[in-house]
Amino acid sequence: MDRESSDDEEDTRHLIHQNDTPKSPHNHRSSFQIDNDDNHKSPRHPSSTPRTSIFNINKRYKNYYLLALISFLIIIIFIFLINHNSVFTTPLNAADVASPDLMRESELRALYLLKQQQSRLIHLYNQTNNSNNNNDHAIKSVLLDQISLNNKIQQALLSSHQFGKTLYSDNEYNVTDVTACRKVELNLSNRRTIEWKPNKDRYLFAICTSGQMSNHLICLEKHMFFAAVLNRVLVIPSSKVDYEFSRVLDIDHINKCVGREVVVTFEEFFERKKNRVHVDKVLCYFSLPQACYVDEEHVKKLKGIGVSMSEIKTVWDEDVKKPSYRTMKEVVDKFTCDDEVLAIGDVFFADVEKQWVMQPGGPIAHTCQTLIEPSRVILLTAQRFIQTFLGKDFVALHFRRHGFLKFCNAKNPSCFFPIPQAAECISRLVERANIPVIYLSTDAAESETGLLQSLITLNGRTVPLITRPARNSAEKWDALLYRKKLDGDTQVEAMLDKTISALSGVFIGAPGSTFTEDILRLRRGWGTASVCDEYLCQGEVPNFIAGDE
């Protein structure tokens, strides 16, 4: 379960907005999939005669087919009426113009109806999918056309809503080639990379202060890019002022993947400097709300472990709340210096070459899938858990709740969904993926997860929500953690949750959560991303939203 806990203030300050979510170059995901469901095979008519016309549909499907087309036409007319005034009339006064909120509500309602229709069309498709009857093939062809058209209309509606952005993008999605939640095909041949060849006596001193572990991992990843651009070795923060990264990450893995020493732990660096570290130059990336986004308490902690710092300077006006897009050239121009040890402060919110930095595998040339990934012990433990409880086909759900109500309701639209609505969204995806088991990573109370469990069904049966059980000596899947004395560490458990989720067949994430974004980063790098991956109830708004305080 998600062990990242924080109070409401921390959630509001450090969770990222979904419209800031980095897009991968493989970002466009179809909003529908077609399953091969053996439970919906279409019986054949023994005496049926092959016919080529799609209008000679056998009576068993005719009514369903006509109903689908009629409902589709109704939705088209509904969408047409929404925009009728703005397209065909010139309003005489402001009162004649539909308010933006009303237009938005109408569009979202149309989108909801399209999704309902899509589900029914896919169900009809599944009933004909395994039939050799020519009439059924004709029906299937028409249904594919209607599903494809439905999807295009959904994408057109989503394009005007920031929250509707999909997780993965491809070129034009070909529905006839897809019958399940296939993996996203990564084209790594066009990956843009930079060689990380640091000067051995030049260092970038990493400082990460915002949020929790997921934020710090993103901050660390961005520091790696800065270090590569500035030709410096990156110094990993000390566990005395930051998280104990060596318990969750394989630091040596980074050096092996790049083929040279590019990162060094604080402890190793401290020994090289004979137990006295001085940061020769501090050039702050962020100037607001405070220089380097570092408070006095953090500076005191650094001094307490023997780190002294030169005068803090800012290179430009940059606010963490409204970061400007920056290029690599700007970074080189502002932060290049000949000082031995350089610090630039927390860069979690930095917007530098986003498409490049967030591509699968990251921006740095290396021989591995990802540079920042779980330690070998955590990876093996995750694999053993999957072999014990889940098997290779499972959906992973990051169901963030603690502090999320206030955080989401501060956004427009909100991303905090009532449990019944969330269960309906999850059930639809489970049906589409045809995967009858869910791994649940959550910080929700048992009262919420219990209700969620009772409402998620597939083919009339409750879909089990699997969470990691408490340690039991009779179970051996977590023996490695116990032997390495890593059991009970909340950050290790959080990374274990991420790893299990990153290995799932399909992933449902929490919009705005850096925990989710780190899972997506791993899925992009490991090649486990699915075209069915999505944020919870993506494209919808909560059917009930509480008022402000």
Inform me whether the pLDDT recorded for 165 exceeds 80. Answer: no
Largest Cα–Cα distance in the chain?
89
Q: What pLDDT was estimated at residue 170?
A: 41
What pTM does this model have? 0.71
Distance CA 396, CA 393 (A): 10
Q: What pLDDT was estimated at residue 127?
A: 62
Residue whose entry in the numeric block shows the structure tokens 């458990």: 493
Q: Which of 53-57, 282-286, 539-543 has the lowest mean pLDDT?
A: 53-57
| Percentage of the residues of the chain whose pLDDT score is greater than 70 | 72
Q: What pLDDT was estimated at residue 122?
A: 73
Q: What pLDDT was estimated at residue 27?
A: 40
Q: What pLDDT was estimated at residue 178?
A: 39
Inform me whether the pLDDT recorded for 547 exceeds 70. Answer: yes
Confidence of residue 36 (pLDDT cuts 50, 70, 90): very low
Structure confidence by residue, pLDDT tens digits, 448-462: 999 999 999 888 889
Inform me whether the pLDDT recorded for 41 exceeds 80. Answer: no
Structure confidence by residue, pLDDT tens digits, 189-234: 778 899 999 998 999 999 999 989 999 999 999 999 999 999 999 9
Residue ranges and CATH numbers for the domains of the chain are: 203-358 (3.40.50.11340), 376-535 (3.40.50.11350)
Q: Quick one: which of 228, 206, 235 has its CA closest to 346?
A: 206
Q: What pLDDT was estimated at residue 286?
A: 96
In the sheet with 341-343, reading across from the earlier edge strand, the strands are: 263-265, 233-236, 203-205, 341-343, 281-284, 312-314
Q: Concatenated DSSP letters for 475-503? A: --TTHHHHHTT-TT-HHHHHHHHHHHHHT
Q: What pLDDT was estimated at residue 247?
A: 92
Inform me whether the pLDDT recorded for 339 exceeds 70. Answer: yes
Inform me whether the pLDDT recorded for 54 exceeds 50. Answer: no
Structure confidence by residue, pLDDT tens digits, 74-100: 666 655 555 554 444 444 444 444 566
Q: What pLDDT was estimated at residue 197?
A: 95
Beta bridge partners of 263: 234
Q: What pLDDT was estimated at residue 89?
A: 43
Inform me whether the pLDDT recorded for 519 exceeds 90. Answer: yes
Structure confidence by residue, pLDDT tens digits, 390-440: 999 999 999 999 889 999 999 888 999 999 999 999 999 998 888 989 999
Q: What pLDDT was estimated at residue 8?
A: 40
Q: What pLDDT was estimated at residue 176?
A: 32
Distance CA 184, CA 204 (A): 35
Confidence of residue 69 (pLDDT cuts 50, 70, 90): low
Single-letter residue type at 205: F
The arithmetic mean of pLDDT across residues 498-515, rounded, is: 95
Confidence of residue 135 (pLDDT cuts 50, 70, 90): low
Distance CA 292, CA 294 (A): 5
Tokens of 71: 């409902």
Inform me whether the pLDDT recorded for 64 exceeds 60. Answer: no
Q: What pLDDT was estimated at residue 182?
A: 85
Q: What pLDDT was estimated at residue 460?
A: 84
- Enclosing H/E stretch for 214: helix 213-229
